[in-house]
Amino acid sequence: MPIDYDKIKNWPFPDIEQTYTEKDSILYALGVGYGHDPMDEAQLQFVYEQGLKAAPTMPVVLANPGFWVKDPATGIDWVKIVHGEQALRIHQTIPATGTVIGRMRVKAIVDKGKDKGALLIQERSIVDKASGALLATLEHTTFCRGDGGFGKGDAAPPPPPAPPEGKPDVSCDLPTLPQSALIYRLCADRNPLHADPAVAKAAGFPRPILHGLCSYGVAGHAILKTFCGYDPSKLTALSLRFSAPVFPGETIRTEMWNRGETILFRSRVLERDVVVLNNGVATINA
């Protein structure tokens, strides 16, 4: 049965309120790999309560409405969906503790055709409850492989820029831990695909895979380290396309091209030489 464009476009999302503590900020930072060098004081500021700062990519786990597409009323074949792209714009430096409100809307639904699926583009605003200030805006693109051909939809967004030809200007290698997914899932996404070997094998993987948004955080870490001197106020936007899964314990190399305030990048795992994140764009305050 085709999905109902009008119903999904006007889906009634409640506001989501979340209070997070120093422990939550530290747990997220540990999950995406900060603190892997315990003698690096620049990383320590994200994982130690003295002078604690929130990692700039932390909004991806704040005030999330959950797995709403699984609701039968959406008509979406949720078993076939894939997280395709993720974008984040940071309007103010994210506090290490606070209470935020998440406001969600469906920004666009793109019909790619009956046999080509659909794109579901969701936008979430993260607002500081006390001040009403907009902290961050997230855009989450889901590829609904089984839901094309519903006959009504929005225009497709422009494709993200491809990485330049030739060698990157700089690369940054960051490790993930064998238990990275087990740590990261405590921040938001408890899908057993990332923890249970039997579930992973049933899904066609030899072992549990890392959350896409965890590898997204690793790429953000690489940008922050390489171009921002670990100053979270300097990273203002980060977008990318997911291209392949990462297994916990693999090393992620982020390859970057410096274009001034814009950094183009992609990430690959060294152990398998596979590009796992592509079409990356970061914006920084130099």
| pLDDT 10s digits, 191-236 | 899 999 999 999 899 999 999 999 999 999 999 999 999 999 999 9
Contacts of 106 (CB under 8 A, 6+ apart): 8, 9, 10, 11, 120, 121, 122, 123
- Under DSSP, the state recorded for 270 is T
Tokens of 148: 């094309």
Helix (H, G, I), strand (E, B) or coil at 269: strand
For the annotated catalytic residues, the residue numbers are 189, 194, 209, 212
In the block, tokens 């960051």 appear at 174
pLDDT at 79: 87
What the block records as the tokens of 133 is 């200030």
- Counting residues of the chain whose pLDDT is more than 90, the rounded percentage is 93
Ranking 116-130, 186-200, 254-268 by mean pLDDT, the lowest is 186-200
- Ranges in the chain annotated CATH 3.10.129.10: 5-144, 170-284
Per-residue confidence (pLDDT) for residue 35, from 0 to 100: 96
Residue among 174, 193, 194 nearest 184 (CA): 194
Q: Nearest 5°: phi and psi at 177? A: -85, 155
**Residues 4, 271: Cα–Cα separation, whole Å:** 43
CA dist 10 and 74 (Å) reads: 11
CB contact set of 228 (below 8 Å; sequence gap of 6+): 234, 235, 284
Percent of the chain at pLDDT above 70? Answer: 100
Q: 170-284: CATH homologous superfamily? A: Hotdog Thioesterase (3.10.129.10)
Residue 184: both structure tokens together: 């990261």
Q: What kind of fold does domain 5-144 have according to CATH?
A: Thiol Ester Dehydrase; Chain A (3.10.129)
Residue 224, pLDDT score: 98
What's the start-to-end Cα distance of the chain, in Å? 50
pLDDT band at 286 (very low <50, low <70, confident <90, very high): confident
pLDDT band with cut points at 50, 70 and 90 for residue 151: confident
Look at residue 1 in the predicted model and tell me its pLDDT: 66
Q: Are 233 and 48 in contact (CB under 8 A)?
A: no
Please tell me the distance from the alpha carbon of residue 144 to that of residue 90, in angstroms, as a whole number.
27
Report whether 248 contacts 179 (CB < 8 A): yes
